[in-house]
Structure 1
Amino acid sequence: MLHLGPQVAEAFATDPDPLAVLAEELGPGPFSLVCLFVSPVGDFSELVTAASARFGEAQVMACTTAGEIGRAGYVEERVVAVGFPAETFSTAAVMIRELSSRDAQAFGDRLVRERLTLSEQAPDRPNAFAFLLVDGLSLKEDILAAALSPALGGMPMFGGSAGDGVDFARTRVALNAEVAQDAAVLALVRTALPIRVFSINHLLPTEERMVVTEADPTARIVKAINAEPAAREYARIVGKDPDQLDTFTFAAHPVVVRIGGEHHVRAIQRVTDAGELQFFSAIDEGMVLTVAHKQDIVSHLEEELSALAREEAPLSILGCDCLLRRMEAEQAQAVRGLSDTLSRHKVSGFSTYGEQFGPLHVNQTMTGVAFYPPEEAV
């Protein structure tokens, strides 16, 4: 049977009519859900408004990106569309507004109702996942993921933080023509196809540790490490000049924290004018940071994606890949190798300002879901 799995399309974001290209490549549908990952060079508002009209009853969720993942792997200045056929997918999608001022926990009751209603409407589609797109400049991803996860009743959640290239100025999400900042969009998806939600990072903890001794958790700023100015002490530990710290340094010398028996990345975004370190994810006083060692990013990704295909190759994979992984690949001249691997394993998606996996907001990671052929005719 054709068109069981998600359909993928790609167009230049600056094309006079990118939606026409996307719609033709996706095919006639109908679709239950259409995801749009839009380069910041495109007209985001115009595109999502037109897409909502074009795709009829489909839920249309979208975000701006820090780069796209298309047929050839890493691409830029594109719109990547992923359409989930109504024949094999059922979807409920909601927007969560005003992240900075609302109690995310209060959203849990509505989420439980949405989840139960979807389950009743699609009893023949037993496999489910939740897909989250969140404003990557909101600084609320940690709180949001932790609040949403308990209401999902065991439904695995993954997602990514909307980006703005490398400018970090303006990120947006959208649902059905409603464009918002300081917001998130959550899709609950049920399908008869076998699926596997996953998280990948290529970092291994070393014995080198440091303690956050002064911080502003609300702003994700570390002021002191080991009772010394944060940037200077970090530079000393990783053997770098404190005046030369930049995004590439942070990608090359990441730090991780131990949570629930596993290590998760806490990526550094920048050095402030005061010599402090601002992070991409949650940070607090007393937190122990461990310097991580990087495995080869290309061979590690090949190994992990091959593991997803060990018993049967996926029809496709939807992935949220951290911008820092792309930057590391650029620095190591490994973009071609990484892109070839993504393309060969049929990964589509976008580069993020952060990733969500279950109740956690993480960095320098790829999260995603793999879709497999049905065990029997759908």
Structure 2
Amino acid sequence: MNVLSRLWTIAAERRNELVSGVSRKTNAVEAVEDLAAQLKDVDAAVVLIFASPHFDKDKLADALTQNFGATPVIGCTTAGEITPLGYETGTLTGVAFPRLHFRFSSRLITNLSRFSIDDGLRFCREFVSDFGETPGWNSLAILLTDGMCRQEEALLSAMEPGLAPIPILGGSAGDGLDFKQTFVLHEGKFHSDAALLTLLATNFRFTELRFDHFLPTEQRMVVTDADPGRRLVREINAEPAAVEYARAVGCSVDELSPFVFATRPTLVRVGGKYHVRAIQKVEPDDGLSFLCAIDEGLVMTVGQAQDIVAHLDREFTGLKAKHGQPTLVLGFDCMLRRLESELLKKYNAVSELLRQNRVIGFSTYGEQYHGMHVNQTFVGVAFFDPENEEETGGEREK
């Protein structure tokens, strides 16, 4: 094969590859132009972007429309990005899903703060019916939601039965560490008080991922006074919540900090498994604000962190032993995992593992896995090239 033929072959192969890119330019227009240049060779069904909240949203949206043309671009703002080089902040990161291997559709849910579960069920069933099936391919759903609306549990209550048997994964959009306003991107505009549901059908093999690095201890507590709508716990064991939590983890209220919350979270047992319910902050009246659903009568267990680097390495080693090296892992990684890594001076080691395992995604305000909204968890989907490129049959790995 001569050089020209080889170049044509490489170009043709790239058109059909799952390709990621990142721009570190701080100007919105320049960042989009840079990312578009990295993804331009892909004949994309859709481009998924994760944008630092520092960008001017209107300029970013306009530039994405201008540079990607007829190719749909969807995404959200972040609390940090996971790029081809691992953890970063201040970037525009994206993935192009090739048309040969992916079919896509997305729909926006507006007025999220007034979301109705009944309406959500109808929405999902109509969406699945309209999306249809591709013979031999498998489907998955990606949910990106405003991370400040506190509606993840209601959304998932509608979406898990409404989408079944299609698995649903995703993350809550971020605003750095400011917790002010978050956005999802759909049809050329950034939207708040909204959620974006995307259906993907593919002949790539894929497997779902969900893991955290916490073990339950013997310390158990019961929520005795709470405001579920605000995710606020006023009392635990009939004592001020912060006072009782501090007692359980062995410190004073004054010593409670993001580091304590990150390394000693509360866990709840659902369906035989423990899930993290992360604390956001201490309120002035010694209440505790949570990042996930809480209610009176909820039994919580104090968690104990394992080594986050060793645990992450074991998870990805197990993934590769069972399924092989992924082409790309789409990752929704809680921002508290990033914070813990920074505080323990393990940021670079975690970042390197994400890079080695081809993770692209973002640091979230919460993670969606099937019918559960969780915290301090890594949720994702690992994609593997079709075993026979001449066939259209895909496989959802177990």
TM range (shorter): over 0.9
1:330 aligns with 2:335: no
Deviation at 1:169, TM superposition (A): 1.1
Counterpart-to-counterpart distance in 1, 2:300 and 2:15: 46
Unaligned segments of structure 1, at least 5 residues: none
Counterpart-to-counterpart distance in 1, 2:17 and 2:268: 36
**Structure 1 residues 123 and 117, CA gap change in structure 2 (3 angstroms):** farther
- Residue aligning to 2:114: 101
Q: CA offsets per residue over residues 138-192 of structure 1, 9 Å max, x none?
A: 1111111121111112111110111111111111111111321111101100000
- Residue aligning to 1:174: 185
Counterpart-to-counterpart distance in 1, 2:122 and 2:229: 25
Counterpart-to-counterpart distance in 2, 1:324 and 1:148: 26
Counterpart-to-counterpart distance in 2, 1:195 and 1:49: 33
Deviation at 1:286, TM superposition (A): 0.4
- Worse overlay, 277-286 or 165-174: 165-174
The residue correspondences of 1:291-306 to structure 2 (distance < 5 A) are 291-306=302-317
Give the number of aligned pairs. Answer: 376
- Tell me, what secondary structure is at the counterpart of 1:28? coil
Q: Is the 8 A contact 1:5 1:316 kept in 2?
A: no
Counterpart-to-counterpart distance in 1, 2:290 and 2:243: 15
The residue correspondences of 1:133-152 to structure 2 (distance < 5 A) are 133-152=144-163
Amino acid at match of 1:341: L
Over aligned residues, Cα RMSD in angstroms? 1.4
- Tell me, what secondary structure is at the counterpart of 1:349? strand
- Residue aligning to 1:209: 220
After TM superposition, where is structure 1 displaced by more than 3 Å over at least 4 residues in a row?
1-5
Alignment equivalent of 2:61, drawn from 34, 48, 58: 48
- Tell me, what secondary structure is at the counterpart of 1:80? strand
- Residue aligning to 1:376: 388
TM-score (norm 2): 0.91
Q: CA offsets per residue over residues 196-248 of structure 1, 9 Å max, x none?
A: 11111111111110000110001000000000000011011101120232222
- Residue aligning to 1:9: 21
Q: CA offsets per residue over residues 247-285 of structure 1, 9 Å max, x none?
A: 222002111000011100000001111110010000000
- Residue aligning to 2:48: 35
Q: Is the 8 A contact 2:208 2:382 kept in 1?
A: yes
Deviation at 1:53, TM superposition (A): 3.7
Deviation at 1:319, TM superposition (A): 0.1
- Residue aligning to 1:66: 79
- Residue aligning to 1:186: 197
The residue correspondences of 1:167-316 to structure 2 (distance < 5 A) are 167-310=178-321, 311-316=323-328
Alignment equivalent of 1:345, drawn from 350, 353, 357: 357
- Tell me, what secondary structure is at the counterpart of 1:336? helix
Amino acid at match of 2:333: D
Alignment equivalent of 2:329, drawn from 314, 317, 329: 317
The alignment-based identity, stated in percent, is 41
TM-score (norm 1): 0.96
Q: Is the 8 A contact 2:120 2:155 kept in 1?
A: no
Alignment equivalent of 2:130, drawn from 112, 117, 130: 117
- Worse overlay, 341-350 or 24-33: 24-33
- Tell me, what secondary structure is at the counterpart of 1:309? helix
Q: Is the 8 A contact 1:31 1:55 kept in 2?
A: no
Q: Is the 8 A contact 2:280 2:291 kept in 1?
A: yes
1:363 aligns with 2:368: no
- Worse overlay, 312-321 or 9-18: 9-18
Deviation at 1:305, TM superposition (A): 1.3
1:23 aligns with 2:50: no
Q: Is the 8 A contact 2:14 2:42 kept in 1?
A: no
- Residue aligning to 1:165: 176
Q: Is the 8 A contact 1:159 1:367 kept in 2?
A: yes
**Structure 1 residues 3 and 257, CA gap change in structure 2 (3 angstroms):** farther
Q: Which has the larger radius of gyration?
A: 2
Amino acid at match of 2:126: R
Unaligned segments of structure 2, at least 5 residues: 1-12, 391-398
